[in-house]
């Protein structure tokens, strides 16, 4: 691994949903190459089933203004821009090396004009942003998800969609697999997020067993 940060221990990435063999969309050459390199270098990026769900959803929604928390090297942001030709994306990344590499990847694909990449901690960046965003992809530090809710709610327009990734965390949150000791706190934080967003009367939420688990919340 050539980066300090990794959110996943690869031994935990083996869970495959029953639908994963069918959900294998192919993307443009740029995204395919980024996915290949990210896998080789163990950079944490969304898996193919998650990207398939994300891009299928966005093909229907066609949001114009997207916010992403957790750019990594720009794979999911590029996939979103690829399927939403008229979209602009604001994407926030804390790790400076990832941020720098994402900028290069956006440039290589001709996406620079359509991206506002921000280097920083989402907790500090979110209060400075002004929306409204049509779509938010929440894919940063899972422990922070619940704390972001008030800002995400402020930034999302009514009728907009918030998609949070990794909410089943290798099956630990759903109880399919026993949670290792080192993941117990993280599982608790994710459960807090799910409980808060599901019971929030301003959102209608569905949890989806695709990829590592997605929570899709529509602001009503």
Ligand X SMILES: C[S@@+](CC[C@H](N)C(=O)[O-])C[C@H]1O[C@@H](n2cnc3c(N)ncnc32)[C@H](O)[C@@H]1O
Q: Which residues bind ligand X (CB under 6 A)?
A: 5, 7, 44-46, 69-70, 72, 75-76, 92-95, 98, 121-123, 139-141, 144
Judged by beta carbon, residue 92 or residue 149, the one nearer ligand X is: 92
Q: Report the distance separating Cα 86 and Cα 22, nearest Å.
A: 28
3-state secondary structure of 48: helix
Judged by beta carbon, residue 94 or residue 153, the one nearer ligand X is: 94
Judged by beta carbon, residue 154 or residue 204, the one nearer ligand X is: 154
Judged by beta carbon, residue 123 or residue 207, the one nearer ligand X is: 123
Rounded to 5, what percent of the chain is helix, strand, coil? 45, 20, 35
Tokens 């459960």 belong to residue: 191
Cβ 138 to ligand X, closest distance in Å?
9
Residue 31 · residue 79 · CB < 8 Å: yes
Sequence-ordered strand ranges (E) for 95-209 = 115-119, 133-138, 156-165, 203-208
Cβ 71 to ligand X, closest distance in Å?
6
Cβ 201 to ligand X, closest distance in Å?
27
User: What is the number of the residue whose Cβ is closest to ligand X?
Assistant: 70
Cβ neighbour number for residue 137 with a 10 Å cutoff:
26
3-state secondary structure of 208: strand
Residue 189 · residue 171 · CB < 8 Å: no
Judged by beta carbon, residue 7 or residue 191, the one nearer ligand X is: 7
């Amino acid at each position: 691994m050539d980066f300090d940060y990794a959110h996943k221990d690869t031994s935990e990435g083996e869970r495959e949903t029953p639908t994963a063999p069918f959900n294998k969309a192919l993307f443009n050459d740029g995204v395919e190459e980024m996915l290949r390199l990210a896998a080789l270098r163990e950079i944490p990026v969304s898996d193919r089933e998650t990207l398939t769900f994300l891009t299928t959803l966005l093909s229907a929604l066609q949001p114009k203004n997207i916010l992403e928390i957790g750019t990594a090297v720009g794979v999911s942001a590029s996939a979103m821009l690829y399927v939403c030709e008229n979209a602009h994306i604001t994407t926030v990344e804390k790790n400076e090396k990832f941020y720098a590499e994402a900028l290069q990847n956006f440039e290589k694909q001709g996406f620079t004009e359509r991206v506002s990449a921000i280097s920083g901690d989402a907790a500090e960046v979110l209060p400075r942003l002004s929306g409204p965003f049509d779509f938010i992809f929440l894919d940063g530090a899972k422990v922070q998800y619940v704390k972001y809710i008030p800002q995400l709610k402020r930034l999302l327009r009514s009728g907009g969609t918030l998609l949070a990734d990794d909410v089943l965390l290798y099956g630990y949150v759903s109880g399919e697999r026993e949670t290792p000791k080192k993941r117990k706190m993280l599982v608790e934080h994710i459960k807090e997020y799910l409980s808060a967003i599901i019971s929030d009367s301003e959102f209608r939420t569905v949890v989806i067993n695709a990829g590592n688990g997605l929570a899709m919340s529509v602001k009503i």
